[in-house]
Amino acid sequence: MVFTPILALAFVALTPIVNAYPVTGSVIDCHSGPGASHSVVKTYEERADIEIVCQATGTTVDGSDIWHQTVDDCYVSDFSSDVTEECPSEDTVDDEDTLSEGALSERSTSSNLPGLSATQTKHAKAIIAEAKKEGLGRQGCLAGISTALVESNILIYANKKVPASLKYHHDAVAEDYDSVGIFQQRAVYYPNIAADMDAAKSAAQFFKIMKKVSGWKKMNTGKLCQKVQGSAYPSRYQERVPESKKICSAGGL
């Protein structure tokens, strides 16, 4: 399986030839940055081909501090490959005279929200846009983003137990009951799988329930998230609110 490159076009001229290497052992987590402390944004399954672009220095794992960036704009730890080209830093691409107008345009619109990868940012912006569309303000944004962080790390999950979900775009696959999508909405309660697997539409489903909660506008954010989700771990939502505040602020709420 070969994944479609999503690196910003501004870096094309600086990127070495991509090489593909198969995952021969267990699944491999791909992080938003060169270190295990960075969030996992993608998981490569066994036998998948990983396309390596460049290498960077990060936190040490099993005696190595080498991390490889993939074409999916995330990093795997010391993955076996022949690529030794250093990944370009933001300072490497600062000469606008060497970039085409199209590349500059792509660069200007590709900035990520705080602490998020490009994929997470795309989904988070869809959630924020839905909150704005419905006039839910900062409280709606905080509830939506906090829930998405807890439930899926703002990634779209398909579920093998819900075969229909595999037909739609997804960032990863899990097997938690019949839960799918960013908000891990259970298919038994949210039977519209197409909506479950869409960032904006799943957010709209979340907000529809949220707006029915009495006093939601002034309620503690973590408590509000729990009212909607009914999680077995209610305290987790409030723990992610500090991150959500940064994301929502950067997104205009």
Are residues 83 and 68 in contact, defined by beta-carbon separation less than 8 angstroms?
yes
129 and 235 in a single domain? The answer is yes
Mean pLDDT calculated for residue range 66-71: 83
Q: Which residues contact 186 (CB under 8 A, 6 or more apart)?
A: 177, 178, 179, 180
Is residue 238 situated within a structural domain? yes
Least confident of 99-108, 172-181, 233-242: 99-108
CA–CA separation, 168 vs 18, rounded Å? 27
Q: What is the pLDDT of residue 128?
A: 97
Is residue 219 situated within a structural domain? yes
53 and 124 in a single domain? The answer is no
Q: Which string of DSSP letters, residue by residue, matches 69-124?
A: EETTS-EEET---S--PBPPPGGGG--GGGS-HHHHHHHHH-PPPTT--HHHHHHH
72 and 124 in a single domain? The answer is no
Average pLDDT, the chain: 81
Range of 196's domain?
A: 118-251
Domain count, the chain: 2
The yes-or-no verdict on residue 7 having pLDDT over 60 is: no
Is residue 3 situated within a structural domain? no
Half-sphere exposure of residue 207, counting CA atoms within 13 Å on the CB side? 26
Write the CATH number for 60: 2.30.30.40
Q: Which of 54, 77, 100 is the last residue of a domain?
A: 77
